[in-house]
Chains A and B, each alone.
Chain A
Amino acid sequence: MQFLETFVTHYNFMITIFLMVAGLYIVVARGNLVKKLVGLAIFQTSVYLLYIEPGKILGGTAPILDPSFTLYSNPLPHVLILTAIVVGVATMAVGLALVVRINEAFGTVEEDEIIERDSGA
């Protein structure tokens, strides 16, 4: 019962953890280089959620100083994650560019086929 209660009241963290583990699983389990990058993107996205969710305060507004508001959400996580998103986009760009070059050099993006062709060459 205790476990179920934690699960329901912290459902946002459960989603984060699910995405985190699913992304990491794809990275490890898939042999296709593009699919690995998809897993990596999911894994990184889960971290965005981890940061942003707790920054939101129910009923809180944007942090603009005004006498009519007293409750503000924390803006810092958004700023941090904006940076992290840029990093994620850059990583994905470099990763996909590498996959394109690997495809040109080896003629495939399947990891097992690459290893096979590599030992042959």
Chain B
Amino acid sequence: MNAVWPHLPILQVILPLFGGFCAAFLRNGRAAFALALAVCCILPIISGAMLWQVLTTGPLSYHLGGWEPPWGIEYRIDLLNGFVLLLVSLICAVTIPAAGRAIAFELEESKQARFYCLFLTCIAGLLGIAITGDAFNAFVFLEISSLSTYVLIALGPDRRALLAAYRYLIVGTVGATFYVIGVGLLYLLTGTLNMADLSARLGTAWGDHSRAIIAALGFITVGIGLKLALFPLHAWLPNAYTYAPSWVTVFLSATATKVALYLLIRFYFSVFGVAIELEPLPLASFIIALSIAAMLIGSVLAIFELNLKRMLAYSSVAQIGYITLGIGLQNQAGVTGGLIHLVNHGLMKAALFLAAAAIFLRVRSVRIADLAGIGRKMPWTMAAFSVAGFALIGTPGTSGFISKWYLVLGAIEKGWWLVVFLIVGSSLIALVYVGRVLEMAWLREPAAGLIEATDPPMSMLLPLLLLSGATVYLGFDTRLTVGIAAKAAQALLAGMR
């Protein structure tokens, strides 16, 4: 055990990467599933152990190949990314049992083993982005996760999945290239790629090269913004989420955008925030304006959507707006709210998309019109959907309320009553689109097509209940989320000038 302990950070990335490599040689879907299951069960243990170490002894620093930073690549884990790593690995561990059934149902036998290979590679990339302290290394992991994501989306049963994947490939590559241009500019100015070293050196470069630094900030914002679907750069997201295999949507909605959000937070607060004064730049008001537009327009588009998965995808655009709003507020309550919502939204959206996957398994349709009376046929599934739906609205007693509460507090602290009003207003719009599905599911007579529909098998139902249970639990016991998020926000803001 003592031999493994200091190498936990690299194991977190190597394990899924090597698992993906091994899965590439398997032909049997069930064997590949067992491999993915084993890897996904170990990941949260590693990230939990690392987070515990961070909480007790402070940030971890792991030097790859023994090269000292800033020359070598450094993996650096503090509260913020320890928290994100735990979220990503926990979501994988909880939802992977459902993959066995959903993937066997939706993909041909020959593609199943390949699916797990891509899935494990994608996790390796996502965990890599979250763990690394090197700006260029983050780009490489970004591309590892993105390339596997494109193929995962293209596996969808509909031929439109191919087009959605192609469009995401174009947008995603442009985004990643923008990011690498920004990092390149920073490298030309400072000669370093280590994030901590970058922020230290940017401070001295600011006076003479402020225009270049602002250009780099712009490139990185747009690049990561494309990846996390910041409004109006969200156009790829609804189609990608709708046409991807159901389980892939669960996985992507809960992890991929969250990790991109983490990267944005890392650059704003730990790299640029420490080095330069962001206050005089109109960056915060720019982000807040886009966030509010996302919250309102995403929610309104969700109301008029006929497809359940696409409705949830537009709702994701809106919910990402809440998180970026927290980043834009730049005060203790606001950033805490953004970070809590990052976790809470990951959990509730995973529950909602998992319910959609269960519905697709039984009904073979996710059109809202086909779901009349489904609550009586699939009571447990729809109960979990309803609970997560209420969390999406932000009803008191669910986790969504806690995050919105902190965001409202942050806005009040700034004295921006209009923003407070808009946060509450967009929650009311969420009530309309969630309520529309709930009314269809619970209050109508069951449709003829639903006669044989029953709750999904345990492997799917249990993760679903666990996730929706978590949204309620985190609405009452906020020690874990608020405790860590508040400390992480404090650390982020303390470093800022």
Whether B180 lies near A84 (C-beta < 8 A) is yes
| Stretch binding the partner chain, chosen from A4-12, A58-66, A99-107 | A99-107
Residue B188 contacts which of A54, A83, A98 (CB distance < 8 angstroms)?
A54
Q: Which residues of A contact B177 (CB under 8 A)?
A: 43-44, 47
A-B contact count (CB 8 A): 66
The count of residues in chain A whose C-beta lies closer than 8 Å to any C-beta of chain B is 30
B150 with A98: CB separation less than 8 A: yes
Nearest chain B CB to A27's CB is how many angstroms away? Answer: 6
| Contact with B151, one of A37, A50, A94, A102 (Cβ below 8 angstroms) | A94
The 0/1 profile, CB within 8 Å of A marked 1, for residues 108-147 of chain B is: 0000000000000000000000000000100110010001
| CB-based contact A50/B136 at 8 Å | no
Residues of A within 8 A of B181 (CB): 20, 47, 50
Q: Is the interface of B mostly helix, strand, loop or mixed?
A: helix
The answer to whether A102 touches B162 (Cβ under 8 A) is yes
Check A40 against B170 for contact (C-beta < 8 Å): yes
Cα-based distance from A44 to B184 in the complex (angstroms) = 13
Does any Cβ of A come within 8 Å of B154's Cβ? yes
The answer to whether A51 has its CB under 8 Å from any CB of chain B is yes
Q: Are B184 and A50 in contact (CB under 8 A)?
A: yes
B148, closest chain A residue (CB): A94
Q: In the complex the two chains form, is A27's CB within 8 Å of B174's CB?
A: yes
- Contact status of A94 and B147, CB under 8 A, knowing A40-B173, A102-B162, A106-B159: yes
Q: Across the interface, which residues of A come within 8 angstroms of B173, CB to CB?
A: 40, 44, 91, 95
Assess whether B380 is interfacial by the CB under 8 Å rule.
no
Decide if B136 touches A98 in the complex (CB within 8 Å).
Answer: no
**A27 and B170 contacting across the interface, CB-CB below 8 Å:** yes
List residues 29-44 of chain A with CB under 8 A from any CB of chain B. Answer: 33, 36-37, 40, 43-44
- A87 lies within 8 A of chain B by Cβ: yes
Other-chain contact of B154, A33, A43, A101 (Cβ < 8 Å) = A101
Report B-chain residues with C-beta under 8 Å of the C-beta of A47. Answer: 177, 180-181, 184
- Chain B positions within 8 Å of A90 at CB level: 143, 147
Contact B150 A94 (CB under 8 A): yes
- 10 A-B residue pairs with Cβ-Cβ distance under 8 Å, sorted by A, are A36-B170, A37-B170, A40-B170, A40-B174, A50-B181, A51-B184, A84-B180, A91-B169, A94-B150, A102-B166
B-side interface residues toward A, CB under 8 Å?
136, 139-140, 143, 147, 150-151, 154, 159-160, 162-163, 165-166, 169-170, 173-174, 177, 180-181, 184, 187-188, 193
